[in-house]
Amino acid sequence: MPELPEVESARLVLERHALGRTIADVDDSDTYVCRPHLPGEMRAALVGRRLTEANRRGKSMWCETSGLHDAEAGPTLGIHLGMSGKIVFVDRGGEEIDGGDYWQRGRARGDHRFTRFALRFTDGTAVMLVDPRRLGRVRLDPPVERLGPDALDITLPQFRAAMARGSAPVKARLLDQEALAGVGNLLADEALWRAKLNPNRPVDELTRAEVDRLRRSLRAALDQAVAGGGVHTLSVIPARHADGSCPRCGARMVRGTVGGRTTWWCSREQPGAALPA
């Protein structure tokens, strides 16, 4: 599902099409995705306004809105894609003309069965959140202040600080959105594989050189995935299966659970392994 690169693709869909159009109607009837709002609450807050900015930090997006009648700006619209969310833009005829294709798996273009939220504009176009699993979220004035630095912007000192606390496995720390924002399960495996670090290594046992190497690897993985439009374009992802082998050295890939998530690593290049029972 969406990690930073996919969310950036979704943000660009909003930026290309949703900014500047006037909101005519809002479908906020899914009370699970739109919690804690009541149905109609977001519609009442947004109709007549325009989206003026599409922002992102880690996997969270938020849009600023215009004021009504030259008044001050409106509320902030927060969007999180969860595990299966996609942002899709459709034209006046309901034809899908952008979005969604950054992650085609399990969904045909134009399949809007799982639309959970939508903004319809005065010109008849619309943006929608298509999210089969409904783990995505849309809300007003979302809390984003708890997120750590965006993984694309994080400086070396900030990255060192993010890895400096506690003794969790390094992969668990990479996934901690309060430490740094944007890294998901696949990106974490890729960065660790590139840095040749075992995902179970406790952060407090990493050398400074290893931490710095990890940041370079993460940066390279992010750049590749953002350019390619998604984490599915990363190198080690195709090897995450039962008889997968390391794309670099050919050794068998090993599967385990780290930080509560399914994790794959190279048995030869990422040694160190399982913590003693």
Partner DNA sequence: TATAGTGTTATCGG
Partner DNA sequence: ACCGATAACACTAT
Could you list the residues that contact DNA (CB under 7 A)? 1-3, 6, 32, 58-60, 80, 82-84, 103, 105-107, 114, 132-135, 165-169, 172, 175, 177, 184-186, 203, 230-232, 257, 259-262
Q: Is residue 11 annotated as part of the catalytic site, yes or no? A: no
Report how far residue 180's alpha carbon sits from residue 162's, in angstroms, rounded to the nearest whole number: 7
By beta-carbon proximity to DNA, the closer residue of 112 and 134 is 134
CB of 272 to DNA, least distance (A): 15
Nearer to DNA, 92 or 165 (CB): 165
Give the bridge partners for 258, in sequence order. 261
Tell me which amino acid residue 179 is: A
CB 172 within 8 A of CB 162: no
Of the two residues 143 and 157, which places its CB atom closer to DNA in the complex? Answer: 143
Print the SS3 string covering 78-140.
EEECCCCCEEEEECCCCCEEEECHHHCCCCCCCCCCCEEEEEEECCCCEEEEECCCCCCEEEE
Q: Which is nearer to DNA, 2 or 149 (CB)?
A: 2
Is residue 59 flagged as an active site residue? yes
* H helix runs in the chain, sequence order: 4-13, 41-46, 156-162, 170-175, 185-195, 208-228
Q: Which of 250, 251, 253 is nearest to 239 (CA)?
A: 253
Which candidate in 2, 5, 169, 199 is catalytic? 2
* CB 65, min distance to DNA, A: 22
User: Annotated catalytic residue: which of 11, 56, 59, 201?
Assistant: 59
CA 137, CA 82: separation in Å to the nearest integer? 7
Shortest distance, CB of residue 35 to DNA, whole angstroms? Answer: 10
Does the annotation count 238 as an active-site position?
no
Instruction: Compare residues 58 and 99 and give the one whose CB is closer to DNA.
Output: 58
Determine the Cα–Cα distance for residues 237 and 121; give it in Å rounded to an integer: 38
Active site residue 6: no
Catalytic residue among 41, 261, 268, 269: 261
State the nearest-atom distance from the C-beta of 92 to DNA, in Å: 27
Contact 222, 5 (CB under 8 A): yes
Write down the least CB distance from residue 232 to DNA, Å: 6
Q: Cα(268)–Cα(252) distance, rounded to whole angstroms?
A: 8
Q: C-beta of 78: minimal distance to DNA in Å?
A: 10
Residue with smaller CB distance to DNA, 100 or 259 = 259
User: Which residues, in sequence order, are CB contacts of 19 under 8 Å at separation 6+?
Assistant: 50, 51, 52, 53, 54
Which residues are part of the catalytic machinery?
Answer: 2-3, 59, 261
